[in-house]
Amino acid sequence: MSQAPPNVPTFDSMLLPTVEALQHLGGSGTIEEIYNQVASLLNLSDEVLEVLHGNTSQTEVEYRLAWSRTYLKKYGLLQNSARGVWSLVSTAISLDSLDAREIVKTVRSIVKERKATNEQEHILVNSDDALEKETWHQQLHKVLLALDPSAFERLAQRLLRESGFVQVQVTGKSGDGGIDGVGIVRINGFLSFHVLFQCKRYQGSVSASHIRDFRGAMQGRTDKGLFITTGTFTRAAIKEATRDGAPPIDLIDGEQLVQKLKELELGVKIITIEAVEVDESWFAKI
């Protein structure tokens, strides 16, 4: 008998926890910080946090939290910067005065009115249903998962070069303990250090044992590691990567990977659509 899927909280049930998370974070936070804080507030299990959204490497909780942030922004409680930092519009917001059902009702009403004036905007109709339309990052995830392993390694090489690494070499040799390549990162043109990296074209979750194996392969070769995956990392893996007394390993999961590819415009084209409005009041003043 197959097990029932874990009960992932709906986006509307995470509206108030998102506000509370930002309050705990001092009024602002990155998407990752908000995610971790909400997971802690709701005491979400690893089983729930590892449920993937469809055939992507984004988790269902991450996906629904994105909608929570969007609704709170449209309601006027949150704002976000171009650098991906979200913040409360006011530190005086009281959780006791907020009603999740009212937030959903108001936002859907706003969007309905905008649609009536031909302003196209997507809205989540049912809090338990995923969007039917494939987003750009879902499409990019599929492309990445379909890449040949050697092509994915070359992509990681290009990504690191575009990010400021030099002398990036892909090794990819079998029996090398999972080391796929090495590069040198320079800080302010003075300091430099070697970084070993591993690329895992993977749809599931990278476990703590993967991190330990990678660190073992790093032993005696470098004090810095980078693990890139199209999948996600379990909470145990994240803790293992930053464990006290062990060489630190930086982690880039699938969602961070596609966002970085977008930022660097590697395989992603950003098309700006011009909107023109006629200011009738200007002509009235002539």
150 vs 251 pLDDT, higher one:
251
pLDDT tens-digit map of 183-240: 888 777 677 888 899 998 888 888 899 999 999 888 888 878 999 999 888 888 999 9
- Average pLDDT rounded to a whole number, residues 119-145: 59
pLDDT tens-digit map of 55-96: 777 789 999 999 999 999 999 999 987 667 889 998 788 999
Say what percent of the chain tops pLDDT 70: 88
Q: Which two tokens stand for residue 243?
A: 């464990």
In the CATH scheme, what architecture does the domain 140-264 have? Answer: 3-Layer(aba) Sandwich (3.40)
pLDDT at 117: 59
The stretches of the chain forming alpha helices (DSSP H) are 15-24, 31-41, 46-49, 60-75, 100-116, 136-146, 149-162, 208-218, 235-241, 254-264, 280-284
pLDDT at 127: 39
- Average pLDDT rounded to a whole number, residues 100-106: 94
Residue with token string 């044992």: 209
Measured at the CA of 178, the angle between CA 172 and CA 181, to 5 degrees, comes to 45
Strand partners, 227: 198, 251
Measured at the CA of 8, the angle between CA 112 and CA 67, to 5 degrees, comes to 30
Measured at the CA of 45, the angle between CA 42 and CA 49, to 5 degrees, comes to 90
pLDDT at 246 over 70: yes
Measured at the CA of 90, the angle between CA 86 and CA 91, to 5 degrees, comes to 95
pLDDT tens-digit map of 22-39: 999 988 888 888 998 999
pLDDT at 176: 54
3-state SS, residue 165 = strand
Residue with token string 């023109």: 276
Q: How confident is the model at residue 119 (pLDDT cuts 50, 70, 90)?
A: very low
State the average pLDDT for the chain. Answer: 83
Kindly give, in sequence order, each residue whose CB lies less than 8 Å from that of residue 135, ignoring residues fewer than 6 positions away. none
pLDDT tens-digit map of 174-183: 555 578 888 8
pLDDT at 220: 80
pLDDT at 286: 67
Q: How confident is the model at residue 133 (pLDDT cuts 50, 70, 90)?
A: very low
Map out the domains of the chain as residue ranges: 12-131, 140-264
Q: In whole angstroms, what is the distance from residue 216 CA to residue 212 CA?
A: 6
Amino acid at the residue 247: P
Q: In whole angstroms, what is the distance from residue 51 CA to residue 62 CA?
A: 10
Measured at the CA of 106, the angle between CA 104 and CA 112, to 5 degrees, comes to 100
